[in-house]
Amino acid sequence: MAKKKVVLAYSGGLDTSFCCIYLTRDLGYEVHSVIVNTGGFSDEELKGVEQRAYQMGVTSHHVVDETENFYNTCVRFLIYGNVLKNNTYPLSVSAERVSQATAIANYAKEIGAEFVAHGSTGAGNDQVRFDMIFNILVPDVQIITPIRDLKLSREEEIEYLKKHGVEMNFEKAKYSINKGIWGTSVGGKETLTSHLGLPEDAWPTQVTETGTRDLELVFEQGELVAIDGEKYDHPAKAIQALQAIAQPYGVGRDIHVGDTIIGIKGRVGFEAAAPMIIIKAHHTLEKHVLTKWQLSWKDQLSMFYGNWLHEGQFHDPIMRNIEAFLTDTQKQVSGKVFVQLNPYRFQVVGIESDHDLMSNKFGSYGEMNNAWSGEDVKGFSKIFGNQVMIYHKVNGSNE
């Protein structure tokens, strides 16, 4: 009898390594592992992941490079919207999980798999994101979730792998690390508490840079296209270049506290130098070139977009509607943004843009104006407050 074919979402980490052994040796499935690269793996790292997959008994291993597609379909809208979950987290893993689940579903269809498996636990967001997208895109394919179904702790997974002769850095495996173009998340025993921070050696990128570095970022219609005069043929490459420059300064590190899809609170550490710098730089540029109501409506729609994406609802058609709005707002978001890096911090210094609405041709805030007279302001002030004045006269109150 032919073995049942299962596509496993594989990263080479602790959880998916357990799934590999369990599905092949304990359940006897024909496992086809797939790693979806969203910009976090080098060619050398991908080769190492492939070697480990075959060592653990997979029938085939496949790499899907989603880096540019992930940017085109998702990341650029997070930049347009300056999206930070709870004003902190740039949706590093939340966003890439949607892209990864979609790519895995498409591969399962391509090879005619009967099952699809992932290494999510039963206590986080990823289980919902993967399950939901698989149910949307491949509803006839059954979902297997060994870690969740067996209710395993990381310590139990480590013992199981040791028992089966698997060699890996189990000390490092105590931390769950997910790396992509839009940042790296870090989870461990400290993030399961409300009071502990991550130790220095838990951060994937150590701080090696000292002193100060000034950067010039160039945006064209909301997208980062050049750094310090070097132009990139795709914004994803500009993001990766900025990440390589800035992360050794230790900027963009934080711990996010948020509400999970399943209703419990959760903490996760992350390092996201490029995403944080880009969002802050882009937002500063927007504050110079957009009107107050463009900024206001962008804030409201972007918050919904980020929250709905965080919950895995990328395929909801409302997301395409909001993306169309966000894209339209970026027509004048072009110019240079000047950023200064220092160890553990960065500062957006200022901008230059042909679309800057803060032009001294029309006046200088708090100093003088060239576009109206004092009498104009007196009349405007009366009209602007007219309805509220009428309310207070009618109701005789000083609320």
Tell me: the pLDDT tens digits for 207-233? 999 999 999 999 999 999 999 999 999
- C-alpha to C-alpha distance for 76 and 302, rounded to whole angstroms: 12
Q: For the ranges 28-42, 134-148, 251-265, 369-383, which has the lowest average pLDDT?
A: 369-383
Give the position of tokens 């002193």: 211
Predicted confidence band of residue 397 (pLDDT cuts 50, 70, 90)? low
Q: Which CATH class is domain 193-352?
A: alpha beta
Dihedral pair phi/psi, residue 42, rounded to 5°? -85, 170
Rounded to whole angstroms, what are the CA distances from 289 to 21, 225, 275, 293, 298?
55, 18, 21, 12, 13
Q: Answer whether 5-176 and 193-352 agree in fold.
A: no
Predicted confidence band of residue 344 (pLDDT cuts 50, 70, 90)? very high
Q: For the ranges 167-176, 185-194, 303-312, which has the lowest average pLDDT?
A: 167-176
Rounded to whole angstroms, what are the CA distances from 25 to 50, 154, 193, 239?
18, 20, 35, 41
- Which one-letter DSSP state was computed for residue 399? -
Dihedral pair phi/psi, residue 11, rounded to 5°? -120, -15
Cα radius of gyration rounded to whole Å, the chain: 25
pLDDT in tens, 223-260: 999 999 999 999 999 999 999 999 999 999 999 999 98
Q: Please name the fold of domain 5-176.
A: Rossmann fold (3.40.50)
The C-alpha angle with vertex 81 and arms to 79 and 83, in degrees rounded to 5, equals 80
Looking at the predicted structure, is the pLDDT value of residue 364 above 70? Answer: no
Query: Do 319 and 312 form a contact (C-beta atoms < 8 A)?
Result: no
> Quick one: what percent of the chain has pLDDT higher than 70?
97
Dihedral of CA 184/187/193/196: which sign?
A: negative
Dihedral of CA 124/126/132/134: which sign?
A: negative
Rounded to whole angstroms, what are the CA distances from 110 to 32, 113, 136?
12, 8, 16
Amino acid at 258: G
Mean pLDDT of 162-172: 82
Q: Beta-carbon neighbour count of residue 156 at 10 Å?
A: 13
What is the per-residue pLDDT for 70? 96
Query: Do 262 and 128 form a contact (C-beta atoms < 8 A)?
Result: yes
Q: For the ranges 66-75, 118-127, 289-298, which has the lowest average pLDDT?
A: 118-127
- Which one-letter DSSP state was computed for residue 252? T
pLDDT in tens, 84-108: 999 999 999 889 999 999 999 999 9
Q: What rounded mean pLDDT belongs to the chain?
A: 93
Q: For the whole prediction, is pTM greater than 0.85?
A: yes
Mean pLDDT of 113-141: 93
Mean pLDDT of 19-28: 94
Q: Can you give the residue ranges of every domain in the chain? A: 5-176, 193-352
- C-alpha to C-alpha distance for 143 and 7, rounded to whole angstroms: 10
What is the per-residue pLDDT for 217? 98
Give the position of tokens 């498409």: 106
What is the per-residue pLDDT for 398? 60
